[in-house]
Structure 1
């Protein structure tokens, strides 16, 4: 009898209470975003000091490009396996370890005495940064409702560009005043401080409690055997076209990001600091292009999802025309405007490509699909972009190399065109419906 009375009064007293504060998910987002900024600042500070390293160590443009490209190469090679390790070992502690590794490696770059030592330092920066993007966004999404996933994902992607801006601009300014070694040291110390704060605030226990209180139900894809996951990531022509098209556009975007400071230094007679700030503005345009491309793609494809492919194709061919024309003009305002527009448009394929991959892969393997897209972006674009541009610059001069690089957009455009053609057929064959039919149902709380 007493139990029935107690049950009647129970709703207010026995209702589960969150074990973490209501604002905790946003704190997780802020700290994860801060580490993302540190990630890209440590990666891109090198580009701001290219002229100083070239002069001090008598390096070729090919060697400079390799120092930049090795980070992206390691990210591409290790993203998938390290993401699987993080799912099993613990995402929060994996992120802390990763941040410590890339920060210590950046400090190692600051004390490098030769090209070989710098290359080793950059190699380890890539090892530390390898899985941060996929694991970091998985942590953030786990503590928020499903309805916020698109917004948070877009902000996270753009955060890479903002970190690149800060890395190039701040790195250039610090190097100008105190030398290139202090530019690396500042980025490494910042990363260590953020890693310490993150480790003390974000724990596996708190993430689990926040996910139960505010987020979505945990997925099971990370526990599925590889033999069942891998075929589903490459199960259609159109999803492969999305990987290829996105990766090749990233080739152009990363080549521009890596060599814009040197371009302004050599052809506009800017000092290191001014060239870094100018290049930072162009990197910001790249991030803006990612956001705008996703917004335009979603708006145009509300009634016809195939239009996402049209946005990708338009961005590819638009970047080819703008950049090719711009780099053939003499230095001046007209050239700068066309290159700026080309940079904006070239990055516009990031959002549509990610959406197409999500539409063409089952929700159960969505995180793994994003890691695969990251792999394609790294191996096809982020790693070879700076290195190939540097090798071409050794033979044709930097301007000649930058005149050739936009032709890659013709191939990416062809990939998007083929994907557009096969997309409806692939959706029917896979039994998948685009957009709303694939949107996961928000869990009840």
Structure 2
């Protein structure tokens, strides 16, 4: 309704009717004729009341009344205005809801990594019980998991562009948690391999819809920070999986440990299904298209191919993941074989490396790059490059030191830099594609770096372990006499000592060799940052067109 049609405050009459009423009162009052001055005075008073009414309405438009309390199931109102204010600057939904959603997604991601890391913590016990080689352990933690994890990533991401991301996350969480619990029933390498494939299938349904969901909850200038909190699930889950898994394995056995870490994920899947809500696509973007059409997959590939920084982002992520996942699977084995720690202590040390260093690195990477990116977006990717260059030599020094306490301290500090890259990289990727390409773009990147990093990294480190051990063992066939990394029962003292020495040598130098991938990854982070500003500007121009 126009302001000219509004009732004048306190009269119940439109302005013209107010003037007519004044004339009638002056004309009929006690038989006196209305004078010109009186009539003009009435008109002036009417005009003043109209002006006051206009000012009242302008104040009401400039300062709307307080938004009503939000309830579960809230939806945006017509015209794009939302009850919580501008989502481009504040985010979608209430602050309380965004906090709960991000916390729950963090816990789900932690469960994801608990079930992923538990194999590393239990690796020495599994090898000793099932008599499997380091290469076979690498297959369990690498290709068996990563192949289906990556192959299903793109189909699931396409489904997430069209269907409920919340439903996908809830179902996937239940699947990988159940498969993790079943790993405790395996009686041989083949069964354990099958269950690890199931874990990979389930975990494929978290990161693409998760990244997309968070990007629609939070505005662009807070996405890297929000993603860094989500990505804290990696160190948190790694710490819990390593420490809890190692302690339970020492106390009750490695089979019970799989049940203990698998069951909580089923509860989290129910919470996700019951409490998370689906935001509109692109709800927090500066320019939001009115159409809801999902672009075809070839359009996503074409967009990423046009972004000059993407190829370097993919290579940087692949090389960093290659070293991270490859070495992490064998760090507990390193502490057991090279420093003679028990499985619980090895799990604790591994948990501190991935947990404490991971939390600090993720916070520094997320919030640090958000701050640096306000002045120059290129620093979003240049800071991780500096971190990898600084951390790699110190990490290799820590692994080579003979004392476990001094070596662990150096490794702990240097590992902080190895966890600072993921929020920066994922934030940059989400900002250079459209709202309905984000899950697919995340899945494409996930396919690349998980096949190379998560898939091949553990297999490579396991193969190096077996290779170096065979070269260092001088008493015959290492695989036969030292099955599972231990001498057979009843073996001579000389054989037992030779097996232990070869295992210690191989576990140390396999990790040092793999760490050479960090400086190589730093180069590609630097090259990706050089064209990042242009790629984000190109996406902004495409959205505004």
The TM-score with structure 1 as length reference comes to: 0.85
Tell me, yes or no, if structure 1 residue 61 matches structure 2 residue 170: no
Structure 1 window deviating more from structure 2 (365-374 vs 259-268): it is 365-374
CA separation in 2, counterparts of 1:93 and 1:359? 25
Compute the displacement of 1:220 (Å): 6.6
Which string of whole-angstrom CA distances, capped at 9 and with x for unpartnered residues, describes residues 92-142 of structure 1?
221222112112211221111111000000000000001202212433444
CA separation in 2, counterparts of 1:87 and 1:313? 32
Structure 1 window deviating more from structure 2 (233-242 vs 243-252): it is 233-242
CA separation in 1, counterparts of 2:224 and 2:307? 24
Larger of the two Rg values belongs to structure: 2
Tell me, yes or no, if structure 1 residue 118 matches structure 2 residue 197: no
Tell me, yes or no, if structure 1 residue 311 matches structure 2 residue 383: yes
Q: Which residue, 175, 179, 186 being the options, matches 2:249?
A: 175
Question: Is the 2:181–2:263 Cα contact (8 Å) retained in structure 1?
Answer: yes
1:242 corresponding residue in structure 2: 313
1:27 corresponding residue in structure 2: 100
CA RMSD of aligned residues (A): 3.4
Compute the displacement of 1:277 (Å): 1.0
1:419 corresponding residue in structure 2: 528
Describe the SS at the equivalent of 1:223. Answer: coil
Structure 1 window deviating more from structure 2 (288-297 vs 395-404): it is 288-297
1 or 2, which has the higher helix percentage? 1
Question: Is the 1:286–1:344 Cα contact (8 Å) retained in structure 2?
Answer: yes
Q: Which residue, 421, 443, 448 being the options, matches 1:371?
A: 443
CA separation in 2, counterparts of 1:348 and 1:240? 20
Question: Is the 1:249–1:347 Cα contact (8 Å) retained in structure 2?
Answer: no
- In the TM superposition, 1:255-404 aligns within 5 A as 255-284=326-355, 285-358=357-430, 360-362=432-434, 365-396=437-468, 397-404=506-513
CA separation in 1, counterparts of 2:536 and 2:300? 17
Structure 1 window deviating more from structure 2 (353-362 vs 46-55): it is 353-362
CA separation in 2, counterparts of 1:156 and 1:177? 32
Which string of whole-angstrom CA distances, capped at 9 and with x for unpartnered residues, describes residues 327-376 of structure 1?
33323333222222232112222233234434544566344333333233
- In the TM superposition, 1:99-118 aligns within 5 A as 99-118=173-192
1:252/1:145 Cα in 2 relative to 1: closer, same or farther (>3 Å)? same
Tell me, yes or no, if structure 1 residue 78 matches structure 2 residue 149: no
1:222/1:323 Cα in 2 relative to 1: closer, same or farther (>3 Å)? farther
1:89/1:352 Cα in 2 relative to 1: closer, same or farther (>3 Å)? closer
CA separation in 2, counterparts of 1:394 and 1:81? 36
1:432 corresponding residue in structure 2: 537
CA separation in 2, counterparts of 1:137 and 1:238? 19
Higher relative contact order (CA 8 A, sep 6+): 1
Question: Is the 1:359–1:432 Cα contact (8 Å) retained in structure 2?
Answer: no
CA separation in 2, counterparts of 1:146 and 1:298? 10
Question: Is the 1:317–1:409 Cα contact (8 Å) retained in structure 2?
Answer: yes
Tell me, yes or no, if structure 1 residue 193 matches structure 2 residue 267: yes
Compute the displacement of 1:218 (Å): 9.1
CA separation in 1, counterparts of 2:216 and 2:290? 9
Structure 1 window deviating more from structure 2 (346-355 vs 157-166): it is 346-355
CA separation in 2, counterparts of 1:83 and 1:114? 33
CA separation in 2, counterparts of 1:93 and 1:405? 38
CA separation in 1, counterparts of 2:293 and 2:314? 21
1:246/1:258 Cα in 2 relative to 1: closer, same or farther (>3 Å)? same
CA separation in 1, counterparts of 2:165 and 2:429? 23
Which string of whole-angstrom CA distances, capped at 9 and with x for unpartnered residues, describes residues 183-234 of structure 1?
11112211122223332334xxx535xx69x977799787111121111112
1:48 corresponding residue in structure 2: 121
CA separation in 1, counterparts of 2:443 and 2:207? 9
Describe the SS at the equivalent of 2:516. Answer: helix
Question: Is the 2:224–2:426 Cα contact (8 Å) retained in structure 1?
Answer: no
1:229 corresponding residue in structure 2: 300
Compute the displacement of 1:147 (Å): 5.5
Question: Which residues of structure 1 form unaligned runs of 5+?
Answer: none
Question: Is the 2:114–2:237 Cα contact (8 Å) retained in structure 1?
Answer: yes
2:171 corresponding residue in structure 1: 97
Describe the SS at the equivalent of 2:226. Answer: helix
1:225/1:91 Cα in 2 relative to 1: closer, same or farther (>3 Å)? same
